[in-house]
Structure 1
Amino acid sequence: MRWMNAMMRKLALATALLAIAVPAPAQSVKAGIDAWQRADYPAAVAIWRPLAEADDADAAFNLGQAYRLGRGVPINLAAAQTWLERAARKGHVDAQTTLGLLLFDTGNRVGGMRWLRSAAEQGEPRALLIYGTALFNGDGVARDPVLAYAYVSRAAAQGLAPAKTTLAEMDQLIPLDQRQNGVALARSKAAPVKVASVKPGPAMKPVKTPPKLSLAVPAKVPAIAATGAWRVQLGAFAKRASAEALFNTLSGSAKLAGRQPYYVAVGAITRLQAGPYASRAEAAAACAGLLGLPCFPVPAK
């Protein structure tokens, strides 16, 4: 009997050790998204980190977003850049766009434009609009109105509202023959957007596009008293009325709460700016929450 009890104890111990030795199955990116949507940001980060370290592009993109937004981890733009770049190098289009905007907003315009161009060439509408606007203005890249019109046309064709507005302004500023060349170029380059897919796990349906972290803001934002020597520039327009209409559309955003519009005339163009912001970093953070717009910080004049 003693012999049998000893054997049972050994068997129980071996079973317990085996259970400890077997690693828990890795959770999916989708599990992290579910946690994020429950506002359980630390849990989402804990799920995504090992997946990102194993070179899952979707997990790396989401982890980069968490560091950029400061959810589940402290805000750390350097860490955000690291994870976004890991995803971007694997062809993750949303990561390329977000990384391009982050680099552009933090002063690395050359690097930012390189990633935005990569995403634009794959048909990402926000990147098409921003890179196309830069081509039109000659902002960080050589000015090319034909290619600019092609890029913005492709963004507008995908239904991006700011692109439609920008394209209407370009119609007033670019000669007909150049616009026709731009349309022909846009048609020749048009192709489905390439995106990284999420691999389905147990009880998870496949999805066609990588998950995007919500940047939704409350419908009502309390007014704040804003001061500072920085603004954000939101676009350039042939007509002041178009600039005013865009600001009226955006004025309910949390990033523009308490800010006022500035309509800066430069020749025949009206630049829409909003502010003030206390620092360049604060203005850059506002732009980061206004994805889809050619937004960047500018000093108040």
Structure 2
Amino acid sequence: MPAAAQATSVKAGIAAWQKGDSARAVAIWRPLAEKGDQDAAFNLGQAYRLGRGVAADSGQAKRWFERAAKAGHLDSQVALGLLLFDSGARREALAWLSRAAERGEPRALLVVGTALFNGDDVPPDPVKGYAYVSRAAAQGLAPAKTTLAEMDQVLPVEQRRKGVAMALAAAKPVKAAAKPPAKAPAPAPVAVASASGAWRVQLGAFGSRSSAESLYGRLQGKLGSARAFYVPVGAMTRLQAGPFATRAEATAACARLAPQPCFAVAAK
């Protein structure tokens, strides 16, 4: 198929998806993905992950994300990393997210940077972790800004300076994938909580519990199995969700919820 016609077909799939005809979108993308179109493979992976147009199948989602990720598709590398993170394969997840982070992708920078800072499933490197989160925050990612402010409270000034210098040296525009990614509009990725854990995400503080409950109602579809915690602090009510097994998992959940303000907190 000529490149121009192929690109048009991917867009036709997106148009069908936007109209709610997910099955038609999948029918358009599948042959293109099988012929090696990275955008079609990414979109097909999203369809399997979300169960739209096909039965939900994380194995098939992984297969298509991985196929495009290996070819250098940036969004697929991030999607694959977050999918693996959710399945508990954190080291493999961090390997893919690290590839995306090296290319400057802000969500990947935040998750990998937090893992490096805390030594979650990787050797601890707080300076590099600080540099990564700094780069994510510089791109406007709200959870990264919050995480960076928390790091500022515990990391010595000299190490922060080294991290900033590292971030400035590495800062560059995100490299484009082999083709500009043609993302299919889809619901935000779902945050997956552990049955138990010492971490939560904090989503805001409110003058009334009803306001906190209202926000949770709006975000519940994106929070998956994470349940709400309403924490009274004086006259305020903090909305938290979780639990998560590690801070890295909580940070990954925040990355998924962007641009909603969110940061990881230790459960008390």
Uncovered stretches (5+) of structure 2, i.e. residues with no partner: 189-193, 207-211, 232-238
The aligned residue for residue 158 of structure 1 is 139
Kindly indicate whether the alpha-carbon contact (under 8 Å) linking 1:260 and 1:276 is maintained by their aligned counterparts in 2: no
2:256 pairs with 1:290: yes
Which residue, 194, 201, 211 being the options, matches 2:182? 211
The aligned residue for residue 144 of structure 1 is 125
Q: Indicate the RMSD between aligned Cα atoms, in angstroms.
A: 3.5
Uncovered stretches (5+) of structure 1, i.e. residues with no partner: 1-24, 199-208, 218-227, 236-242, 264-271, 278-282
Alpha-carbon distance, 1:289 to partner: 9.5
Alpha-carbon distance, 1:216 to partner: 4.3
Q: Aligned partners of 2:243 and 2:97: how far apart in 1?
A: 27
1:118-129 alignment, distance < 5 Å: 118-129=99-110
The aligned residue for residue 18 of structure 1 is none
The aligned residue for residue 97 of structure 1 is 78
Alpha-carbon distance, 1:39 to partner: 1.1
Kindly indicate whether the alpha-carbon contact (under 8 Å) linking 2:107 and 2:255 is maintained by their aligned counterparts in 1: no
| RCO comparison, higher one (Cα < 8 Å, 6+) | 2
Instruction: Write out per-residue CA displacement over residues 182-228 of structure 1, whole angstroms, 9 at most, x where no aligned residue.
Output: 00000111111112264xxxxxxxxxx413333447xxxxxxxxxx9
Instruction: Write out per-residue CA displacement over residues 62-82 of structure 1, whole angstroms, 9 at most, x where no aligned residue.
Output: 100110010000000000000
The aligned residue for residue 76 of structure 1 is 57
Which residue, 230, 255, 275 being the options, matches 2:222? 255
Helix, strand or coil at the partner of 2:163 = helix
Which residue, 133, 136, 142 being the options, matches 2:114? 133
Q: Aligned partners of 1:107 and 1:87: how far apart in 2?
A: 21
The TM-score, its normalising length taken from structure 2, stands at 0.75
Alpha-carbon distance, 1:137 to partner: 1.4
Instruction: Write out per-residue CA displacement over residues 84-136 of structure 1, whole angstroms, 9 at most, x where no aligned residue.
Output: 00110111111001100111110111110000000000000000001101111
The TM-score, its normalising length taken from structure 1, stands at 0.68
Q: How many residues align?
A: 233
Q: Aligned partners of 1:136 and 1:190: how far apart in 2?
A: 19
Alpha-carbon distance, 1:28 to partner: 1.9
Helix, strand or coil at the partner of 2:229 = strand
Helix, strand or coil at the partner of 1:245 = strand
1:173-192 alignment, distance < 5 Å: 173-192=154-173
2:226 pairs with 1:245: no
